[in-house]
Amino acid sequence: MWTWLLAVPTLLILAGAAQAQCVSGTNVFNASQELRQVSTYPNMTPNQPDVDSAPRLRAAITYVLATPGCTELVVDKGGYYFETAVSSGIQPVKMAYAVVPAGTGLTVDLHGSNLIFKESYYSAFYINQCNGCVFKNFSIDYKHLPFTQLDVTKVTWEEIIAVPQPDWPNPYQLYTHQSELAGAPVPLQGFDTRNGQAQYEYTAWSIATPTKDYPHRIALDPASKPQRIIKPGDVFILAARGGGPAILQQNSSGISFGNIVIYTSGGPAIESDNSQGMSFDAFNIVPYANRLVSTVAGGIELNDMTGPGNVVQNCVVFGTQDDSIAGNVTVPLVTATATSVSEITLTSSPILPILPQNPVFFVNGTTGQTIGGPPTGRKYTLTPVARSTTVFSVSPPLNAKQVS
C-alpha cells in the first residue's frame, strides 16, 4: 500500500512536467529560431542593424512568462538593435525597450550578445516583480549617447571655448536632442579631463543652456576659477542628465544579474529599488573604445532594499560621473561613546540588548567622517565586557584622534 501511495504522486508530477514545455519541447526558448512559431514577429536574427529587435524581445519575454514550464529565454550570439521603447507602466512615465512584467523563475541568457539601444534617455530593461529571475551574459550600449567630448581651445575667467571631437555632437545638439525626449529641459554638467584622466580639483560644473548661434562657448561660474583648473588641450565632457538607468529593477526578490557589461546610460547603470536577496555579480560598467566616461550618473544604485542577502561582487565600475556603488540599505545604526581607545559604551535609546553583528564600522557623529569600512578599510570587532549589554571592548583599538 505504501508503494502505491508514493507512486501515484510521482506519476502525476511527471505527467505535468511533460505537458508544460516551450515550443522546443524543453524549458528553453530560443527567440532567434522559434519566435515566429509563437508570435506574429519573425525570429530575432542577430547582426541586422536595420531590424528593430525591441518588439521581438518583448514578445519572446511575454511567451516565456505565459507558458508554464518554459523558463529560459536565449538568443543566438550576435548584435541586436533596439529602436522602439514603450511605457514601463510606472508614474511618472518612464520608457524602456524591454519590459519584464511580474513573473517567477525567468532566466534571460543572451549568450554574450551586444545590445544597442537607440536613445540613452530611455532604460534598456525595466524589470518589476520578477522573483527568482536571472539575467546574464550581454552588453548594453546606446546609439545616441548622453554626453559629448569637446576639445578645449581657450579658457577665460568665465567661459571656455570647446569644439566637438570628430563625430561628436556640439553642446546645443546634445541638449536639444535629450530635452526633446525628456519633454523638458535637461540639466547639463561638465567635467574636465587631461591626458585621459579626470581632473578632480573641481568635481563638476553646472552648465547653462547652450545657444544655437554660439554652441562652442560654455559659460562657467567665475567663482570656481575655471582658468586655474581647465587648460587648452583638455577634453571637456558635457553630459545631459536625468535619463536612464540602463537597467531599472523594482519590487523583486532573489534576482541574479551576472556577466553584464554596461558602456553608458543617461542615468546610473543599474538601479535596484525595494527588493531583497539580490545578486550583482561580474558587472562591468566601463567606457567603450575612445570614450572617456561611461554613465553620466552612478554605477550600481541600491535603494530602499527591504531585506537581507543582497550581494555585489566581482564588479568593475570605471568612468561614472557619480558614485560607483551607492546604497540606501537598512542597517542597524547604533550610537556609542568611546571611553578609551579600546572601549566604547552604547548610548542608543533604547539600548540594544544584543551584540551588534561583527565586523562594525564607525562614523564620527559630528563630522560624518568614516573610521574604517569596506572593502579594504579597517574593520572592528566588539566584545562584551563582563557580560555587559552596553560596554564593549574594541579590537583593533582606535587611535587618540578618533576617540576625540
pLDDT digits (tens, 9 = 90+) for 227-286: 899 999 999 999 999 998 999 999 999 999 999 999 999 999 999 999 999 999 999 999
Based on C-alpha coordinates, what's the Rg of the chain?
26
Task: Output the pLDDT for position 9.
Answer: 34
Question: Whose CA is closest to 214, among 264, 154, 257?
Answer: 154
The single residue listed with the C-alpha cell 572617456 is 292
The single residue listed with the C-alpha cell 527588493 is 275
For 383, how many CA atoms within 13 A lie in the half-sphere containing its CB? 8
Task: Output the pLDDT for position 349.
Answer: 54
Task: Output the pLDDT for position 375.
Answer: 53
Q: How do beta strands 147-155 and 159-164 pair?
A: antiparallel
Dist CA 193 CA 202 (whole Å):
11
Dist CA 101 CA 90 (whole Å):
12
Asked whether the bond before 350 is cis by omega within 30 degrees of 0, the reply is yes
Question: Whose CA is closest to 58, among 9, 4, 98?
Answer: 98
Taking the model in full, what pTM does it have?
0.79
DSSP E strand stretches across 145-255: 147-155, 159-164, 188-194, 197-198, 205-207, 217-219, 235-240, 247-250
Q: Are 113 and 138 in contact (CB under 8 A)?
A: yes
Task: Output the pLDDT for position 336.
Answer: 85
> In terms of C-beta density within 10 A (0-12 exposed, 13-18 middle, 19 or more buried), how is residue 301 classed?
buried
For 91, how many CA atoms within 13 A lie in the half-sphere containing its CB? 0
Q: Are 125 and 97 in contact (CB under 8 A)?
A: yes
**Amino acid type, 63:** Y
CB count within 10 Å of CB 38 equals: 19
The single residue listed with the C-alpha cell 537597467 is 247
Task: Output the pLDDT for position 315.
Answer: 96
Domains of the chain as residue ranges with CATH:
2-143+245-329 (2.160.20), 147-240 (2.40.30), 336-403 (no CATH)
Which 3 state secondary structure label does DSSP give 374? coil
Task: Output the pLDDT for position 374.
Answer: 56
Question: Whose CA is closest to 379, among 367, 368, 388, 371?
Answer: 371
Dist CA 188 CA 179 (whole Å):
10
The residues of the chain scoring below 70 in pLDDT are 1-20, 91, 328-332, 349-356, 365-369, 373-377
Dist CA 82 CA 28 (whole Å):
23
Cell of residue 19, nine digits = 505537458
